[in-house]
Structure 1
Amino acid sequence: MEEMDRRGWHLDKSVSIAHIGTTLTLILAALWYLAGQDTRISNLELNIKHLQSERLADQGRTEKKFDELKTDLRMINTKLDRLIESQVRER
């Protein structure tokens, strides 16, 4: 009766080589995964910086075009004013 029943839970002071190997493999896999995450995050940061610079360039072009349109509208307005004034004088 001194021998314990092996069907129940028990703790053993020995550590198997398979357990050490499995633990090391899990640690290496986790480190490899984290290194891959770091690379992906770095790539995303570069993409964001590129998109921000493109956005600023687009915004500059848009503002330039808007200024050109305002100038054109002012010119058209001036021409219309002159046309209206010339027609009023002719009457």
Structure 2
Amino acid sequence: MEDRQQLVTTLQKKSYNWLDFLQQLDPALLLQELHYCTTTGQKLSLPYAATLLHVFNHSTHHRGQITAALTQMGYPCPALDLVYMLVEEKNKH
């Protein structure tokens, strides 16, 4: 995607998929095990709530990888800390 605004718009639209998922999620599932099969065929069972938290937080790992790569290539990186985002949002209002 070459157009940055198109990328931002797409990412924002995709984030609504999570909202839809969470609104439809039966809270009782959070107390259960998540049973799934890995890409190598291994069957696993993990706590549903903890696994869901991992999925939400995993993007942090990738943002760190991207930041490191951009910095090594000599590009400036935006501040990624949540605090900076909160300050920016507060200043908008």
User: What TM-score, normalized by structure 2, do the two folds share?
Assistant: 0.31
Q: Which has the higher helix share?
A: 1
Q: Which has the higher strand share?
A: 2
Instruction: Please identify the structure whose Cα radius of gyration is greater.
Output: 1
